[in-house]
Amino acid sequence: MPGKNLSRDEAQQRASILAVDGYRVRLDVTSAPDPAAATFRSTTTVAFRCAEPGATAFLDLLAPTVRSVTLNGRALDPATAFDGARVHVDGLAADNVLVVDADCAYSRTGEGLHRFTDPVDGETYLYTHYEPADARRVFATFEQPDLKAPFSFTVTAPAAWDVRSNAVHTEVTDEDGARTWEFAPTQPISTYLTAVVAGPYHVVRDHYSRTLADGTVLEIPLAALCRRSLAPYFDADEILGVTKAGLDFFHEQFDYPYPFGKYDQAFVPEYNIGAMENPGCVTFREEFVFRSKVTDAAYEGRANVILHEMAHMWFGDLVTMRWWDDLWLKESFADFMGSYGLIGARTRYTSAWVTFANQRKAWAYRQDQFPTTHPITADIRDLEDAKLNFDGITYAKGASVLKQLVAYVGSEAFFEGARRYFKRHAFGNTELGDLLGVLEETSGRDLTAWAAAWLQTAGVNSLTPQVTVDAEGRITELAVLQDAGNGDVLRPHRIAVGLYDRDADGALVRTDRIELDVTGAVTVVHAAIGRPRPALVLLNDDDLTYCKIRFDAESLETLRTGLGDIQDELARALAWSAVWNLTRDGLMPARDYVALVLRFAGQESNIGVLQSLHAQAKGAVDLFAAPARRGEGGRQLADGALRELRAAAPGSDHQLAWARFLAQTANGSEHLGLVRGLLAGTARIDGLDVDQELRWSLWLALAAAGQASDEELAGELEADNTASGRRQYTQCLAARPTPEAKAAAWSAVIDSDELPNALVEANIAGFALPAHRDLTALYAAPYFKLLERVWSERTIEIAMRIVGGFFPQAEVNEATLAEADTWLDGHPDAAPALRRLVLERRDDLARALRAQACDGV
């Protein structure tokens, strides 16, 4: 498989004959402040061994120009050795030194070495992002995770800049207005984990010390970085406090000292993911630096990501999967540890498992019901497959399964297994069997059947209670019915069955809890026999397993009249998740789900759950409501948002959440009049601070309604001419309900590849508003015609955003479904990753049609 892709077979063949001793990478980025400079100098010296002297091999490199290639002192002609994606070398010796001198391109897509110029002060910032295979955009590499090696970086940059990499710098020299930073060699790591961050970053320093069991003292220098113009908003003390708590927790649990020296955390602009676990130099999207007031859910989310990336220092960086099939060996663990660590590290975020049950699992359930779903241990044929598998299965389903595994084998056996795993495989690469082996040692359980059922099969099971009672209202039988869902496997589940009744105050409280193993199609809960029939039977109480839960008729009626009365917030979150799944599956009319939200969301104390309810209720109206009911549903949401906004405690998180929801749903003169009044200062909600981020949300509401002029939007940008302001201004322009606005947004993304990834996202978000389906329907036919061109011409990151974002999702009708089917039928040989994206969007469309049919009855 030639070109930019790399197949698993090629990687295995290369690893079978090569071992890498080390890289020396020299980068000269002094050209970066010049916007006309498209490239930087990159010189790579790699020492490696070959088990088959005389063999041929290749390195991976995506670069505009290669100046020279030298193998063991022998010059190779770049014109024949370099094909645009690979550097081919032949006549290898047992020991080799290869030098590749190239001009590599600055990135605007967040892949490789990304360059950003701050509109506030004109300063330029650089950072790298490589996963899964973009180190080859910065230096010549053997770009696969199992060819680990130490890396030594040398970076020449403008003299006023700070430069960071994975290791500490050992020497800094000045010459002719530039400064050269020499960094110590790293531990053996994979290419995708190397990192460079360079620019006039604002830096806050701290230190962490820990006395280890053998009496030695571990010293870890800490630093937190952001752009200078964001420094006034940078709450580094909070970030570093979570960092220290996490380091304490992971050292206690893993019994393996943090192995990468320092711990830098850089918050960088236009990042195309949430964060990346580069050892010693973690990078985060700078939206985690909050310019305006956010709810506590945002702080919890950031803390979760901090601990997620920290867990990777062990799961992923110290011990790395051999190939991307076992991506879950790091991502599932890190996702699990993000929530587990928030509780275990004794942070203030005590509702982490509520957030996990309500939000992370929703991602997993959606992904696991696509026709393209895959086992947690996936079949990853090539790099394009790998890119798409950073998904809800690998992260959230895997984390859910690990949560169940901890319950199954016991937490001490689980963590003792992790400790042995780290010690046994430090700085190496592993596969599924390596982890299962140590867990079997520590737990005494045979995990073969468990792994086969949970890790090597796809699909989500549904569990439904079946309750029969006698004349006195006592349970004669309570059975758990298991359905295979979209898979064909009935799995073993360790669950708790919660029985809930109203207390003297009218709250729904748990009166009994029965824990048991569910196996097969029917499992009888013997311990429930003879107990009074409860108002609510909640399967998977405490969220021990991964499944969709259903309700018997009486329990569902209890939820319709009292969901908000469930006292325990985790149980309440599980109930909300379950009724949302019923709605997505076309088993509950969208109008009923919206009615539940309008009735009970005002009682929801957990701010993260509330914000999820807002997003889901909006999706229910936009996509799942019968077209004839859509307008009324939208008015009901806006009226409900206005009512709850006025009722919320002044200055509270809930008040802010309802204000943002009003901005998302405003559609009538009363709602839009208040929006304009809040912007103008002629209207006021006691305690509501209309700060800059909220202002943009309100302007977006007016723009989408056709009530924001060019002059008004330009004036807001002039007042907030920042990176965030430009993104939101761009989205507002694209959100206007005119053919011209939609055409401009479409053209900006499709007809040019000059936009940075952040503005690509902003244009797509504004273009694709469901309320504008009549305008965007015109682009369905052009969309399907350009898919293969986009896939071949754009980087995979941008191509994925275009394919997913411009899919005519809002046009929920049989004609659009037929267009998708026609394309799929007519392009059987299109890139598998491209077909997967279209298949998933097509499945979303078919699901929406089923839900609309349910709502139309």
Catalytic residues: 309
State the DSSP code for 318: T
Name the burial class of residue 813, with classes exposed (0-12), middle (13-18) and buried (19+) by CB atoms within 10 angstroms of its CB: middle
What count of other Cβ atoms lies within 10 Å of the Cβ of residue 774? 10
Spell out the SS3 assignment of 526-557. Answer: HHHCCCECCCEEEEEECCCCCCEECCCHHHHH
State the DSSP code for 395: I
CB 645, CB 690: distance < 8 Å: no
- d(C-alpha 800, C-alpha 796), whole Å: 6
Amino acid occupying residue 560: R
Half-sphere exposure of 820 (CA within 13 A, CB side): 26
- How far are the Cα atoms of 36, 340, 729 from residue 717, in angstroms, in the given order? 25, 41, 6
- d(C-alpha 470, C-alpha 465), whole Å: 17
Half-sphere exposure of 19 (CA within 13 A, CB side): 7
- d(C-alpha 763, C-alpha 745), whole Å: 5
What lies within 8 Å, CB to CB, of 524 at 6+ separation is: 477, 478, 479, 480
Looking up tokens 């939101």, which residue turns up? 728
Amino acid occupying residue 741: A
State the DSSP code for 269: T
In the chain, what is the straight-line distance between the N-terminal and C-terminal CA atoms, in Å? 51
What lies within 8 Å, CB to CB, of 197 at 6+ separation is: 126, 127, 128, 163, 164, 165, 225, 264, 266, 268, 281, 283
Nearest to 104 by CA among 141, 52, 132: 141
Half-sphere exposure of 214 (CA within 13 A, CB side): 5
**Does an H or E element contain 615, and which?**
helix 607-619
- d(C-alpha 38, C-alpha 137), whole Å: 13
Starting at the edge strand found earlier in the chain, the sheet holding 18-28 runs 74-76, 65-71, 95-105, 39-50, 18-28, 151-158, 178-183, 169-175
Nearest to 277 by CA among 250, 241, 238, 297: 250
What lies within 8 Å, CB to CB, of 562 at 6+ separation is: 502, 508, 535
- d(C-alpha 282, C-alpha 720), whole Å: 29
Q: ∠ at Cα 366 (343, 700), nearest 5°?
A: 85
- d(C-alpha 177, C-alpha 783), whole Å: 49
Nearest to 83 by CA among 13, 136, 16, 10: 136
CB 688, CB 656: distance < 8 Å: yes
Looking up tokens 């010796």, which residue turns up? 93
- d(C-alpha 731, C-alpha 698), whole Å: 12
What count of other Cβ atoms lies within 10 Å of the Cβ of residue 570? 19
Peptide bond into 200 cis (omega under 30): no
CB 123, CB 117: distance < 8 Å: yes
Give the length of the chain: 857
**Does an H or E element contain 687, and which?**
none
- d(C-alpha 610, C-alpha 573), whole Å: 10
What lies within 8 Å, CB to CB, of 348 at 6+ separation is: none
